[in-house]
Amino acid sequence: MSALLERIGLHGRQRPDAAALADGRVTLSYRELVTEIGNLADLIEAGRVGLLLDNGVPWACLDLALRQREAVCVPMPGFFSTSQLSHLVRDAGLDLIVTDLPDRVAELLGSPAADSIEIAGRTVWLFRPAASARAGMGGTGILPTGTSKITYTSGTTGQPRGVCLSGAVIESVAAELADAVGAGPDDRALSLLPLSTLLENIGGLYAPLWVGACAQMPGLAECGMAGSSGLDPMRLYRALLRFAPSTVILVPQLLKVLVEGVVAGQPVPASLRFVAVGGAPVAPDLLARARSLGIPAYQGYGLSEAASVVCLNRPGAERAGSVGKPLANVRVSVSADGEVMVGGRLFLGYLGGAAVNDEVWATGDLGYLDADGCLYLTGRKKTAYATAFGRNVAPEWVESELTGHPLIAQAAVFGEGRPFNVAVLVPRSAVSAEVMAAAVRSVNERLPDYARTPRWVVAEAPFSSSNGLASASGALNRAAVAAHYQQHIERLYG
């Protein structure tokens, strides 16, 4: 049986009336959660089941019921495009889709819902894709033995790819993560990222339930989120004050918004004791500013192939500029050419591909370990380049320095084979060219000459998954940015 479900059952016996799940509209105690999981497990058939729902108690209950049913859970990110979702349905060979967006799924499949059920006072609809809609690679290909969850990453090129994970590996990461952050039964986690993302699923739902704490998951719009990159800062602040979380997970852009709000006079929620930051490179200056303002921000690092979390800074053991020490369930090393290698309990393989039997996974990230075992990242193996003068540049490093400036929200740096680097910049707000130039100069002064960006252009719009220039976590689609701004970049060199 699932170790997580055993823990939930234990909490249901020892602390039956303690709050387990809450979303602002309904709260379930541990006793009620155990009952709800059992009831849903009897209603949902086994197979491959997609979840396309907003954050909330129904999402969590369905996820846990599928674990009890030993079905394969396939979270479906709401920020995926119709094309990406169609690919996911075919690739995963879904037998069932459970959703609170019936119109979107009906359009996606070209068929009406077959049924509806009530979960925690809310209606969700059940769709059973026709065989023709799910006859893809996953439907006819290899599903590694022991797969409990298939997580799809938005990726930077091509269609999303399904990463197959066992329940045991996922739960081991949840347990290690809870231990690393010192989680306890009095904690209140708050999910600000979609539960369809593996990091939030494990850190915002499983880790708190592991220790008997309360996992809070209001609808994303209530927290100010819209799509993959839209954000209403005031709704975000109100959600933090209303739900008074002790722990929360942020991507760098959300941390930046929180920092700017505090600078502008918004209070730091007194309840916060641990803010995990990850999903994309984090500027050291941004973390330093957050800590100076009383925001307990700790950078981490992970990848889907290692069930989301690999390293994490912890209170009293953080290292500025590092992503922290590895969790106990993984081993981290660095190859001779500087690539970060992760060993231990990893994923089972990609959906439709061969099973993974290697004990060590090459991450594609470049970095080094210090004497204390803390990991420092310096860039991506495939994106590092040499300038015309033979100087090696990791663009992520320069981009991190640029976005650490309060006026620069996003940056994409290029310069392979060129005499100097250039950048495409997204400003935080409308500023004059003179002000932007001063901001870039201040960053360049901290960098060695070969890493500076003496010329730059302001982007037409923010990089986002909706325009194909970034993933939902904020990671750049570097090739797409280069292609979109090719003429601008050539003019910078001209």
State how many domains the chain has: 2
Taking 3-state DSSP, the helix, strand and coil percentages for the chain, each rounded to the nearest 5, stand at 35, 25, 40
Q: Which amino acid is at 51?
A: L
User: Rounded to an integer, what distance in angstroms lies between the CA atom of residue 166 and that of residue 78?
Assistant: 23
pLDDT tier, 154 (very low <50, low <70, confident <90, very high otherwise): low
Q: Which amino acid is at 440?
A: V
Nearest-CA neighbor of 239 among 177, 178, 189?
A: 189
Q: How much is the pLDDT for 229?
A: 55
* Residue 390 and residue 363 share a domain: no
In this prediction, residues 215-231 reach a mean pLDDT of: 84
Which domain, by its residues, includes 216?
3-369
Residue that the structure tokens 């108690």 belong to: 57
Question: Could you say which DSSP state residue 315 is in?
Answer: T
pLDDT score of 136 more than 80:
no
Q: Give the DSSP H/E element, type plus range, for residue 164.
A: strand 161-166
* Residue 101 and residue 68 share a domain: yes
Q: Which amino acid is at 8?
A: I
Residue 377 pairs in a beta bridge with 367
Residue 416's domain is classified under what CATH number? 3.30.300.30
* Residue 286 and residue 362 share a domain: yes
Q: Is 47 left (phi over 0), alpha (psi -120 to 50) or beta?
A: left
In this prediction, residues 332-343 reach a mean pLDDT of: 94
Q: How much is the pLDDT for 134?
A: 54
pTM over 0.75: yes
| 3-state DSSP of 260-307 | HHHHCCCCCCCCCCEEEECCCCCCHHHHHHHHHCCCCEEEEECCHHHC
Residue 376 domain flag: no
pLDDT tens readout for residues 402-456: 998 999 999 999 998 888 999 999 998 888 999 999 999 999 998 888 889 999 9
Structural contact between residues 299 and 274, judged by C-beta atoms closer than 8 angstroms: no
* Residue 439 and residue 365 share a domain: no
Residue 20 domain flag: yes
pLDDT tens readout for residues 21-59: 999 999 999 999 999 999 999 988 879 999 999 999 999
* Residue 364 and residue 393 share a domain: no
Structural contact between residues 149 and 165, judged by C-beta atoms closer than 8 angstroms: yes
Q: How much is the pLDDT for 114?
A: 77
In this prediction, residues 6-20 reach a mean pLDDT of: 98
pLDDT tens readout for residues 100-121: 999 999 999 988 777 899 999 9
Residue 309's domain is classified under what CATH number? 3.40.50.12780
User: Rounded to an integer, what distance in angstroms lies between the CA atom of residue 399 and that of residue 282?
Assistant: 10
Phi and psi at residue 448, to the nearest 5°: -65, 155
Q: Which of 134-143, 228-237, 246-255, 292-301 has the lowest mean pLDDT?
A: 134-143
* Residue 171 and residue 267 share a domain: yes
Residue 377 domain flag: no
Residue 215 domain flag: yes
List the Cα angle 487/488/493 in 5-degree steps. 95
Structural contact between residues 231 and 257, judged by C-beta atoms closer than 8 angstroms: yes
User: Rounded to an integer, what distance in angstroms lies between the CA atom of residue 105 and that of residue 93?
Assistant: 15
Structural contact between residues 106 and 112, judged by C-beta atoms closer than 8 angstroms: yes
* Residue 396 and residue 329 share a domain: no
DSSP H helices in 95-135 = 102-109
Phi and psi at residue 72, to the nearest 5°: -95, 115
pLDDT tier, 220 (very low <50, low <70, confident <90, very high otherwise): very high
* Residue 262 and residue 230 share a domain: yes
Residue 378 domain flag: no
Q: Which of 344, 369, 394 is the last residue of a domain?
A: 369
User: Rounded to an integer, what distance in angstroms lies between the CA atom of residue 492 and that of residue 420?
Assistant: 10
Largest CA distance in the chain: 71
Nearest-CA neighbor of 361 among 346, 373, 379, 382?
A: 346
Q: Is 160 helix (H, G, I), strand (E, B) or coil?
A: coil
pLDDT tens readout for residues 348-369: 999 987 777 667 899 988 899 9
Q: Which of 106-120, 121-135, 193-207 has the lowest mean pLDDT?
A: 121-135
Q: Which of 369, 402, 424 is the last residue of a domain?
A: 369
Residues 6 or more apart in contact with residue 339 via CB below 8 angstroms: 362, 363, 364, 365, 366, 381
* Residue 352 and residue 395 share a domain: no
pLDDT tens readout for residues 51-93: 999 999 999 999 999 999 999 999 998 878 788 889 999 999 9
